[in-house]
Amino acid sequence: MYIWQHFKTITHHKFMVMKGCFSVGLYKQGLLHDLSKYMPSEFLVGAKYYQGTQSPNNAERKDKGYSSAWLHHKGRNKHHYEYWMDYSAHAGDGIIPAKMPDRYIVEMFIDRIAASKNYNKEKYTDGDPLKYYLSGNPGNFMHKETKRKLEKLLYMLAERGEAYTMQYIRKRVLPGARKQKSKK
């Protein structure tokens, strides 16, 4: 078990997401991001399957055919598009993706940056989160509007950089986030 290494990895990731969320006015989301990773059902699996170069969920998946930690995680964290799956109101349509609120799309975007930085370390480029996203191919599992908005941010990051994209988010995607939080 790699308890200390896993703890350091998830804590570093959480800190990077918190910093990114704070920079766009998502203070509560920054503080609460990925707290479920410290629960035994996720933490112990992560420590057992720790690799340091990718999510331990991938190793658990290879070993068991599924990831119990991921199934627990995605059901408790609204910044994952998989959280936003529901049965259609129309009979016969089955399970369909629901549209994500912008604040969770932004947190998902920041989460992808932090994960890419955490695993790629000094080799990180602003194109890495887009590459990782494209390799996952969410297809029909993500609502078309959510997908469009996330892809816009990922391509903007790859083409114009993190500083530009975060400023765009503050001014255009979440313009009232800082004002709303400071009034409370």
Give the pTM.
Answer: 0.92
- Please tell me which residue, 170 or 92, carries the higher pLDDT value: 170
Distance CA 66, CA 42 (A): 13
* Percent of the chain scoring above 90 in pLDDT: 87
When the pLDDT of each residue in the chain is averaged and rounded to a whole number, the result is: 94
Residue 106 and residue 169 in contact, taking contact as beta carbons nearer than 8 Å: yes
Residues 6+ apart with CB under 8 A from 108: 79, 80, 81, 100, 150
Distance CA 111, CA 108 (A): 5
Looking at residue 37, what is its pLDDT?
97
Three-point CA angle 87, 83, 152, nearest 5°? 105
Domains of the chain: which residue ranges?
A: 3-183
Kindly report, residue by residue over 81-139, the tens digit of the pLDDT: 999 999 999 888 899 999 999 999 999 999 999 999 999 999 999 999 999 999 988 77
Distance CA 121, CA 126 (A): 12
